[in-house]
Structure 1
Amino acid sequence: MQNKRRPTKTIIYLLLILLAIISSVPFYMMIINATRDTKDIITGFTFVPGSSLIDNYNTMMGYVNIWNGFKNSLIVAVSVTVLSGYFSALTAFGFAVYNFKGKNQLFLFMLLMMMVPGQLGLIGFYELNKTLGLLDTFIPLIVPTIASPFVVFFVRQYLATTLHSSLLEAARMDGASEMKIFHTIAFPIMMPAVATMSIFTFIGSWNNYILPLVILFSPEKYTLPVLMGFLKGSQVAQNLGSMYLGIAISVVPIMIAFLFFSKYIITSIGAGSVKG
C-alpha cells in the first residue's frame, strides 16, 4: 500500500514545485526588468540582471519621491490593519458570546452592508469629510475602515467553532472582568482568524487607489498607488525599467505580509473543519 502511495505523493510534490515556479516567474521578471533599460526590455526577456538599476532609480526619483509615498501607504495600511483587527475581534466577541435585544437584526444588517459596494457612497463620503474639515488628511482613510463587516463576520464564525462557553464561565467564576476575558482568553483564540483577515485588510488598504485619490490633494501626502498612477502619466512611463522598479518596491510589503502570516491562514482554515 505504501509503495502505491509513494509515486502519487511524488507526482503531487512535482506538480506543487511546478506551480510554485510558475507563480514565481512574474515576480522574477519584474525584478530583472527593474535592472534593465527600455531598449533591452523591448528586445526580450532574459534571466540575467541588467546594469541600469541606478539609472532607473534616479529617473524615477527625479519625478516622484516614492519613499515618501511608501511611508504614507505604510502608515495608513498598518493603522487600518491593527485597528480593524482589534475592533472587529471585539465586535465578533460580542456577537458570539452575548445575547441582547436586536442581536440577530443587527447581525443581519451588518451582513447586508457587506453587499453594498463602497463606491456608491463615495460622493456622500467626500461631502461629509469636506463638512468635517478632514479632507487632505489620513483620518478618512483610516477611521471608517475600522468598521469592517466581513472581518467581523469571518472572526465571529471562527470564534463560534473554537471558543467553549465553559472557558468563559470558569474565568467569570475566578472574578475576571469581561474585557480581561476578551484579552486573555478570546483574543488569543481568535488570533489565527484575525491574522488571516489582517493580510487581506493590509493588502486592500495598501492597494487602495480611488479613495486616496479623492481625499488627498497634497503630493507629499499621496499614498503609493496614487504616486504610481502619477508616474504612469508622466514622462517616466517611457522608461519601462523605472516603472518596473516602482512596481517592485510597491509589492515588497505585500510579500512580507504573506511571509509572516501565511501560517495563520493554514491554522484558520483547518480550525473550521474540526468542529465537534
Structure 2
Amino acid sequence: MQTVKPVEQQKVTLQQYDTVRRLTLGKVIIYLCLISLAVICIIPFYLMLIYSTHNNATIASTFTFLPGPFLVDNYMNMASKINIWRGFANSFFIAGTSTVLSLYIGSLTAYGFAKFKFKGRNWLFLFLLATMMVPGQLALIGMYRLFSTLGLLDSYAAIILPAAANAFNVFFIKQFMESSIPDEIIESARVDSAGEFRTFNQIVLPILGPAISALGIFTFIGSWNNFLTPLVLFFSLDKYPLPVLVALVQGYYGMDYGLLYLGVAISILPIIIVFAIFSRQIIGSVALGAVKG
C-alpha cells in the first residue's frame, strides 16, 4: 500500500530541488563566463600562430582563422635576415643567469633583514622598498655611464649584474621567511657551530623552496622579456636577445607581418611552455605564501 508523504516533507523536497536547480544554473553561467574569457584570451595567440603561416599580402587583405602555406617561407626569410636561434640562446643565458643570481642574492639579503638585528635595519629596508617605486628607465643613463667607465658596455655583465639586485625579490622572500622560519631553527644551527653561510645554504634555502620556485618563474619571464636595457647597452648584433632581434625585423627590414608574427611566436614559446608545465606549482607556491603570510 502506497503511503502519502506529509505536507512538510514535500515542501522540504521542493525547496531542495529549487536549491539544486539554482546552483546548477549558477554553475552553468559561471562556466560559460569562464569559457568565454578563456576564448577571448586564447584568440590573440591563436591568430598570431595562424598569421605566421601567411604572407604579407594575405595578412593585409584578409581576416582568417585558417593556417596558410607560407610558414617555411617566412622562416627562411627571417633566417636570412637575423640569427633567431642565436638570439634565443642569448635570451636563455641572460634570463637564466639573472634569475639564479637574483634569487640567491635576494634570499641572502632577505635573510640578513629577517634574522639579524642591527641599528637602522628598518630604515634601510624602507629605503630598499622605495627603490621599487623608481622606474627602471630612469636609471638607464646612470647605468650607461657606469658601465662605460668600467668597460662593461656591450657585455653580458651589463645586463646580468643590474638584474641580480632585485628589491622585490628581497621584499617577497623576507616576508615569506619571517612567517615560515622560526628564529629557534637559526639559533639551534648557531649553537651547533654552523656558520652563517652554512646555515643559510643548508637550512634556510630548502625551506624557501616554495617561495623561490614561484618567484623564479616570474623573474625568468621578466628577464626574458627585457627589451630596453639590452637595446641601450648592447651594440653587437650577436649579443642581442630575442626581443631586440624581433624588433630589428620590424625596424631595419620594413614591415613584413608574417615574418614579425613568426618571430614573436618563437620569442614567447618558452614562456608558454613554462606556464603550461609549472602552472600548478606557480598557483600552489603563491597560495602557500599567501596563507603563511
Instruction: Answer whether TM exceeds 0.5 for this pair.
Output: yes
Residue equivalent to 2:150: 132
- Structure 1 CA distance, aligned partners of 2:110 and 2:261? 41
Q: Give the stretch that moved more between structures: 104-113 or 185-194.
A: 185-194
Identify if the C-alpha distance between structure 1 residues 185 and 20 changes in structure 2 by more than 3 Å, giving closer, same or farther.
Answer: farther
TM-superposed CA distance for 1:236, in Å, is 4.9
CA 1:231 to 1:127, structure 2 compared with 1: closer, same or farther past 3 Å?
A: same
Change (3 A) 1:259 1:172: farther
8 Å contact kept, 1:31–1:248: yes
Task: Say which is worse superposed, 57-66 or 255-264, in terms of deviation.
Answer: 255-264
SS of match in other structure, 2:264 = helix
After superposition, give the CA deviation of every residue in 1:186-222 in whole Å (9 maximum; x if it has no partner). 2233222222222232222212222111111111111
Match of 1:248 in 2: 265
Q: Is the 8 A contact 2:110 2:171 kept in 1?
A: yes
Q: What residue identity is the alignment partner of 2:57?
A: K
Question: Residues 193 and 37 from structure 1, CA distance in 2 versus in 1: closer, same or farther, beyond 3 angstroms?
Answer: same
- Change in CA separation of 1:255 and 1:173 when aligned onto 2, cut-off 3 Å: same
- The equivalent residue for 1:123 is 141
User: 1:72 offset after TM fit, Å?
Assistant: 0.9
How far 1:245 sits from its partner (Å)?
0.3
Cα distance, 1:112 vs structure 2:
1.4
Instruction: Identify which range, 250-259 or 169-178, moves more after superposition.
Output: 169-178
In the TM superposition, what whole-angstrom CA distance separates every residue of 1:207-258 from its partner, at most 9, and x where no partner exists?
2222111111111111112212211113352x31111101100111111222
Is 1:211 the counterpart of 2:229 in the alignment?
yes
Alignment gaps of 5+ in structure 2: 1-15
3-state SS of the aligned residue for 1:208? coil
Using structure 1 for the length normalisation, give the TM-score. 0.90
| Deviations, residues 40-96 of structure 1 (Å, cap 9, x unaligned) | 222333232111001111111111111111111111111111110111111112211
State how far apart, in whole Å, the 2-side matches of 1:263 and 1:89 are. 23
Is the partner of 1:143 in helix, strand or coil?
helix
The more displaced of 6-15 and 211-220 is 6-15
Q: 1:179 and 1:146, CA in 2 relative to 1: closer, same or farther beyond 3 A? A: same
CA distance in 2: counterparts of 1:57 and 1:147, whole angstroms: 37
CA contact (8 A) 2:97 2:160 kept: yes
Once residues 150 and 95 of structure 1 are traced to their aligned partners in structure 2, the CA distance between those partners, rounded to angstroms, is 14
Q: Summarize the Cα distance change of 1:15–1:175 in structure 2 as closer, same or farther, 3 Å threshold.
A: farther
Letter in 1 for 2:174: R
Question: Looking at CA atoms only, which structure, 1 or 2, has the larger radius of gyration?
Answer: 2
In the alignment, what sits opposite 1:65?
83
State how far apart, in whole Å, the 1-side matches of 2:118 and 2:277 are. Answer: 38
1:162 counterpart letter in structure 2? S
What CA distance in whole angstroms lies between the structure 2 residues aligned with 1:157 and 1:85?
14
- Corresponding residue for 1:198? 216
Matched residue count: 275
Matches within 5 A, 1:1-276: 3=20, 4-237=22-255, 239-275=256-292
Q: Percent identity?
A: 49
Unaligned runs of 5+ in 1: none
**Alignment partner of 2:291: what SS?**
coil
Structure 2 CA distance for aligned equivalents of residues 56 and 24 of structure 1: 23
